[in-house]
């Protein structure tokens, strides 16, 4: 571990110097940040009741344990599908009722926090909002679990300081997510920063999750990056899955079809065993 520096004082509550033991988070019997690798999976966006229910039943039939799905979608173009809003949250809650799977979904602004918190188990802060400080303070004022994604143009230290805002506001249930950063490379959507996994595990006690889907942006390569992230020490993965990716309303190119997801789960289990971490 690095020695205490004035730099780590900027993220003191998140730092391993201030808490040596891993933060372990629990929701509906699912433990995140413990020995077990956690797989969170689901569509980029909730599209309909039928879509999310069918997918939730499929996810439930695998060893994945958290259902993801966006109802409020940050889209680069205002003309792209921006999510079903509260209707989408209701559909997610219904899918949870049916399967028992806890749900993770994005909250985009401070005024949305009470609404999204009322339906979800884990509040996702997206890459584009990593330094939305009023939003960090607003989720920090709740006792909801937060999945904080690294901004595509942000350093590891900036991610830790963003987490610090949430911790400093009184919410200790925070996990971090590496989802790819912007580099000069254009063959892939972003560049997955594999370095971030061991570095974060060293610098902070907070659970570290990898999102290979948004990092690479192409379903063909998602599993390779997911496997690498687990081998590198991630506590879990967040993966986009769709029953029919070519029909997805967002991020279809990077969404795994059910068969590909099953193959990934088989590989994840093998790698987890190889590093003494059950699935």
Residues that bind ligand PEP (CB under 6 A): 44, 70, 74, 126-128, 149, 179, 211, 214
Q: Which does 101 bind (CB under 5 to 8 A by kind): Mn ion, ligand PEP, none?
A: none
149: partner contacted, choices Mn ion, ligand PEP, none (Cβ within 5-8 A by kind): ligand PEP
From ligand PEP, Mn ion, none, interface partner of 139 (C-beta below 5 to 8 A by class): none
Q: Which is nearer to Mn ion, 165 or 261 (CB)?
A: 261
Kindly state whether residue 147 participates in binding Mn ion, applying the rule CB under 5 A.
Answer: no
Closest separation in Å from C-beta 44 to Mn ion? 3
Partner interacting with residue 207 (select from Mn ion, ligand PEP, none; CB below 5-8 Å by kind): none
* Site membership for Mn ion, residue 44 (CB under 5 A): yes
- Residue 179's binding partner, choosing from Mn ion, ligand PEP, none, with beta-carbon cut-off 5 to 8 A by kind? ligand PEP
Q: What residues are paired with 25 via a beta bridge?
A: 32
Q: Select 33 or 70, whichever has its Cβ closest to Mn ion.
A: 70
The residue with its CB nearest to ligand PEP is 126
Within 238-257, the residues that bind Mn ion by CB under 5 A are 251
Distance of closest approach, residue 239 Cβ to ligand PEP, in angstroms: 10
- Report in angstroms how near the CB of residue 270 gets to ligand PEP at its nearest: 26
Instruction: Kindly list the distances between the CA atom of residue 114 and the CA atoms of 27, 142, 167, in Å, as whole numbers in the listed order.
Output: 18, 9, 18
Q: Which does 126 bind (CB under 5 to 8 A by kind): ligand PEP, Mn ion, none?
A: ligand PEP
The residue whose Cβ lies closest to Mn ion is: 44
Handedness of CA 228, 28, 58, 238 (dihedral sign): negative
Nearest approach in angstroms of CB 136 to ligand PEP is 14
């Amino acid at each position: 571990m690095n020695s205490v520096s004035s730099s780590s004082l900027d993220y003191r509550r998140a730092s391993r110097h201030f808490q040596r033991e891993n933060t372990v988070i629990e929701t509906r019997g699912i433990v995140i940040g413990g020995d077990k690798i956690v797989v969170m999976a689901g569509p980029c966006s909730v599209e309909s009741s039928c879509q999310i229910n069918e997918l939730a039943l499929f996810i439930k039939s695998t060893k994945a344990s958290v259902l993801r799905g966006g109802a409020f979608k940050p889209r680069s173009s205002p003309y792209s599908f921006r999510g079903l809003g509260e209707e989408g949250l209701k559909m997610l809650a219904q899918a949870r009722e049916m399967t028992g799977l806890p749900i993770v979904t994005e909250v985009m602004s401070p005024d949305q926090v009470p609404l999204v918190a009322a339906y979800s188990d884990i509040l996702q802060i997206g890459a584009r909002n990593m330094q939305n400080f009023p939003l960090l303070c607003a989720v920090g004022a709740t006792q909801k679990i937060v999945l904080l994604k690294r901004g595509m143009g942000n350093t590891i230290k900036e991610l830790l300081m963003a987490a610090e805002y949430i911790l400093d506001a009184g919410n200790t249930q925070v996990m971090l997510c590496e989802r790819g950063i912007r580099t000069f490379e254009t063959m892939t959507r972003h560049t997955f920063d594999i370095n971030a996994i061991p570095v974060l595990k060293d610098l902070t006690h907070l659970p570290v999750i990898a999102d290979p889907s948004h990092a690479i942006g192409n379903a063909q390569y998602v599993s390779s990056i997911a496997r690498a992230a687990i081998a590198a020490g991630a506590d879990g993965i967040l993966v986009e899955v769709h029953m029919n990716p070519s029909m997805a309303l967002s991020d279809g190119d990077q969404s795994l079809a059910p068969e590909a997801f099953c193959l990934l789960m088989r590989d994840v289990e093998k790698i987890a065993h190889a590093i003494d971490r059950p699935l």
